[in-house]
Structure 1
Amino acid sequence: MCLILWSYSHSCADAFIGINWGRLSSQRLIPSMVVDLLLQNDITNVRIFQQSANVLEAFSDSGIRVTVGLSNSLLDRYMNESTLQWWIEDKILKYEKVMRFGYVTIGSNPFTIYPNSKLYFNVVDVAKNMQKQLYNNSISYLKTTTPHYTDVLNLTSSSKPSEVDFRDDIKAKMIEYVRFLRDNDSPFLLTVYPIDFVNTYDLDLEFAFMDKKSTHIVQDINATYTNAFELLYDSLHWALTKAGAGMVKIEIGAIGWPTDSYRGASVENAERFYRTFLPYIASGRGTPMRPNQNIDVFLNTLSDENRMPVELGLFQRHWGIYKFNGEPKYKIDLSGKGRDILPSTAKGVIQMPNRWCVFNKNNDDPMLVETMKNMACNVSDCSSLEKGGSCSTLSYEDKVSYAFNRYFQTMGQASESSNEKCDLGGLGKVLADNPSKGGCDFPVEILSAEYVVEGETFGSAGERLYGRISSSMGLLVLLLLRMII
């Protein structure tokens, strides 16, 4: 069947497999490298989480359709028409002639009920105002939508899709929202993580995969569900129908599989999930309630983000299909054809020297060792050391070494407090031999000469964290020296 894609004009096309690109990392690929990587892999749709000029300019004339948006933390600021007009001029009109835009997303999972989450009820008003301003600027082809997590639905461990509706506490607002989508031909952007669904409700992990090996089967009227994705997708369909918006198109704003720090999170399981999920998407067979229908998806996410907030779980830092250095973690055919291939590797990446900082095993002051380990983890990312992580079975001394190395790499293999670069209270030493053990990788990071702009960034799997400068004059000098050499 024919699918409408909103770009310069309405056209008939197959469903797309796009990708999310978040930048909450201490070292990150520069935008031009990312554009090249996407083109190498024939990815023509991307959802970005930072709209600074250097990012938008990198996508100019690339042919890639770019979805941009506002984070939750910016919703109050963009309530009135004048500020929305400024945003449209700065992010859309300035680039419209050289860039293809997908959607404008308003907020990010604004009604999620995870601990410490704030509900952003003004998200619907901002979406309406943004759409009005887009019409006023004669860019009515560009539609506004909001990514919503599956917990906007009143799901339980025994939910049947036909019994599902929107949560009572947000039901009135969701009805208002989905009718706005209906009246403006905008899609509902659903954030869905099958692994999180089965873990939250303690279901059979196999139900998160799509290869029909699960013992958990849900029978609903004339439909049989053997996997979480189809069940969750059709649950939203029923909620939309009950709200008078049954024909609203459902697109997947984020779906993926973490590779660390969660039950079932591993490189092997991520590869297995995509091996069946992507051909399913490419087949266009749809779901029991929406058969023979194309489903557009944004995979989450391009690369790991070691600065992501971890309130929702340490696995939030491990969604990447790629490592932070642009190397693929596993085989995945991003075309959906199911081929047994690795995706293309990022080109032009400059890795820091092959050296690692480890614990020198001086245990004279155990309290100092623990203090320095904690300090190193607070500055960097030690999520792989926690229960269920790929490095959780290391000895205590090796865990200290892992923490020291993550700190050392995050700081650009340099410490502002010591000329020795790996001093750490006199407990560290530099090695030229890789100390990785078993499935625990001691990474060497890449040179990065960029910063994330404060106030414009929110993570690909969550909400905005903070701006952080990751470059330093020392790194820039080292980069120039290596280029000269």
Structure 2
Amino acid sequence: MHFSNVYKTGKALMASILLLLVVLMPALQITGAQSVGVCYGRNGNNLPAEGEVVDLYKSNGIGRMRIYEPNEATLQALRGSNIELTVTILNNELQALNDAAAATAWVQKNVQPYSADVKFKYIAVGNEVHPDAAEVGFLLPAIQNIHSAIVAANLQGQIKVSTAIDTTLVTNAYPPSDGVYTDPANQFIKPVIDFLVSNGAPLLVNVYPYFSYNDNPGSIDLAYALFTSQGVVVPDGTRYPSLFDALLDAQYAALEKAGAPNVEIVVSESGWPSEGGNQATPQNAATFYQNLIKHVTSTTGTPKRPGKAIETYLFAMFDENLKEGNADEKHFGIFSPDKQPKYQLTFG
């Protein structure tokens, strides 16, 4: 073959390869985005060192982590890991962060020193604040002050500031399209939602079919909670394949009624315990986690938000033997403290 023809053929081949990469790149990005996260709670006296935990995330292909305090050892271990991070600010810190200088100091201490090589994604200001809680009046100012500090650090393009709520703020959840915030909840959550709208941030919601099932075991089928039923047709005629989807869409319905139809929801916790409560068995937990991962990493979505993966964080990485509350609270781990997997899971 003439040299010029070889050259042209080589150029054409290279162009074809580049075109293929361009075509495939969105798919590769989508695949990465569909990896589930796992919440890393540290309420245990038998847990591995932070560096070992980060290595466990990496070796299992877990691309997202939520932590419940800005622990220095964890942040150091996350450097260069490429794991997307959600940092929670606990409720007992909200009052102090109503002072703008304190919020600035918090960001300067816990975010800025690590921001070059730790992939901060969300800051969850408050976790499951309820209308009757002492902290309710401190929530919005704390969110605003942390956001202002993030902007001052020029990190607003990387980090979104939000809060994490539970599903009990919404009532009339059956059918899901009737979901609406309770009157007491609406008073404090509506201004927060307005903030999220203004700043393009998602709402973080802890979604637990396990607790919803146990609140109504006589009217909810266990299979529906475990993603193993044929689904339920609700009174408005919509078929819901799982309780998880129904709970999530009730939250979306409430957001719509609050004037925020475009706010996305990130499922910041969801899990099933292996012991300590009704239907808390290793078999049920394995079934729930396996099916949850399969569902949220697909592009099925929910009836209200079809066609895309659902950003979701499993609760939790380890059983936590010092966790307060009912016995089941200690047994949500997907790994044992010795780092052995409790279930056979593939994380995306």
How would you bin the TM-score normalised by the shorter chain?
Answer: 0.7 to 0.9
How far 1:91 moved relative to its partner?
0.7
How far 1:87 moved relative to its partner?
0.7
The counterpart of 1:264, out of the listed 279, 302, 306, is: 279
Correspondence for 2:193? 178
CA contact (8 A) 1:46 1:65 kept: yes
CA contact (8 A) 1:162 1:220 kept: no
The counterpart of 2:180, out of the listed 160, 165, 172, is: 165
Correspondence for 1:70? 89
Q: 125-134 vs 263-272, which deviates more?
A: 125-134
Q: Hey, what's the Cα distance between the residues in 1 that align with 2:149 and 2:264?
A: 22
CA contact (8 A) 1:259 1:267 kept: yes
One-letter identity of the residue aligned with 1:253: S
How far 1:42 moved relative to its partner?
0.8
Correspondence for 1:246? 261
* Structure 1 pair 13–323 and aligned structure 2 pair: CA distance change class (3 A): closer
Q: Hey, what's the Cα distance between the residues in 2 that align with 1:247 and 1:12?
A: 23
Written as runs of structure 1 = structure 2, the 5 A alignment for 1:216-295 is 217-295=232-310
Q: Matched residue of 1:37: which SS?
A: helix
* Structure 1 pair 12–133 and aligned structure 2 pair: CA distance change class (3 A): farther
Unaligned segments of structure 2, at least 5 residues: 1-28
Matched, 1:206 2:223: yes
Q: Hey, what's the Cα distance between the residues in 1 that align with 2:195 and 2:95?
A: 20
* Structure 1 pair 119–232 and aligned structure 2 pair: CA distance change class (3 A): farther
Matched, 1:139 2:155: yes
How far 1:52 moved relative to its partner?
2.7
One-letter identity of the residue aligned with 1:329: K
CA contact (8 A) 2:97 2:145 kept: no
Correspondence for 2:33? 14
Q: Hey, what's the Cα distance between the residues in 2 that align with 1:271 and 1:155?
A: 30
Correspondence for 2:329? 316
Q: Hey, what's the Cα distance between the residues in 2 that align with 1:324 and 1:66?
A: 21
The counterpart of 1:189, out of the listed 204, 212, 228, is: 204
- What is the identity percentage for the equivalent residue pairs of Structure 1 and Structure 2? 26
* Structure 1 pair 94–270 and aligned structure 2 pair: CA distance change class (3 A): same
Correspondence for 1:24? 43
Q: Hey, what's the Cα distance between the residues in 1 that align with 2:31 and 2:222?
A: 37
CA contact (8 A) 2:131 2:184 kept: no
How far 1:47 moved relative to its partner?
0.6
Query: What is the root-mean-square deviation of aligned Cα atoms in Å?
Result: 1.9
How far 1:218 moved relative to its partner?
4.3
Q: Matched residue of 2:66: which SS?
A: strand
Q: Hey, what's the Cα distance between the residues in 2 that align with 1:163 and 1:51?
A: 38
CA contact (8 A) 1:161 1:220 kept: no
- Counting matched residue pairs gives 317
Correspondence for 2:4? none
Written as runs of structure 1 = structure 2, the 5 A alignment for 1:77-116 is 77-111=96-130
* Structure 1 pair 15–332 and aligned structure 2 pair: CA distance change class (3 A): closer
Matched, 1:329 2:346: no
Q: Hey, what's the Cα distance between the residues in 2 that align with 1:106 and 1:76?
A: 11
TM-score by length of 1: 0.63
One-letter identity of the residue aligned with 2:144: K
Q: Matched residue of 1:206: which SS?
A: helix
* Structure 1 pair 87–285 and aligned structure 2 pair: CA distance change class (3 A): same
Q: Hey, what's the Cα distance between the residues in 2 that align with 1:120 and 1:70?
A: 14
**Offset from partner CA, 1:78-121 (integer Å, 9 cap, x none):** 111111111111111111112111111101111277xxx65523
CA contact (8 A) 1:198 1:207 kept: no
Matched, 1:35 2:35: no
CA contact (8 A) 2:92 2:135 kept: no
Q: Hey, what's the Cα distance between the residues in 2 that align with 1:108 and 1:256?
A: 16
**Offset from partner CA, 1:183-217 (integer Å, 9 cap, x none):** 11111111011011011122222221112256xx3
Q: Matched residue of 1:181: which SS?
A: helix
One-letter identity of the residue aligned with 1:120: V
The counterpart of 2:142, out of the listed 126, 134, 146, is: 126
How far 1:333 moved relative to its partner?
1.6
One-letter identity of the residue aligned with 2:306: P
One-letter identity of the residue aligned with 1:123: L
Q: Matched residue of 1:332: which SS?
A: coil
TM-score by length of 2: 0.87
Q: Hey, what's the Cα distance between the residues in 2 that align with 1:233 and 1:220?
A: 17
Q: Hey, what's the Cα distance between the residues in 2 that align with 1:86 and 1:125?
A: 15
Q: Matched residue of 1:301: which SS?
A: coil
**Offset from partner CA, 1:311-370 (integer Å, 9 cap, x none):** xx21111000011111111211222xxxxxxxxxxxxxxxxxxxxxxxxxxxxxxxxxxx
Q: Hey, what's the Cα distance between the residues in 1 that align with 2:293 and 2:322?
A: 28
How far 1:230 moved relative to its partner?
0.6
Question: Greater CA radius of gyration, 1 or 2?
Answer: 1
CA contact (8 A) 2:206 2:268 kept: yes
Unaligned segments of structure 1, at least 5 residues: 1-9, 336-485
Q: Matched residue of 2:186: which SS?
A: helix
* Structure 1 pair 11–219 and aligned structure 2 pair: CA distance change class (3 A): closer
CA contact (8 A) 1:160 1:218 kept: no
**Offset from partner CA, 1:388-421 (integer Å, 9 cap, x none):** xxxxxxxxxxxxxxxxxxxxxxxxxxxxxxxxxx
How far 1:129 moved relative to its partner?
1.6
How far 1:265 moved relative to its partner?
0.6
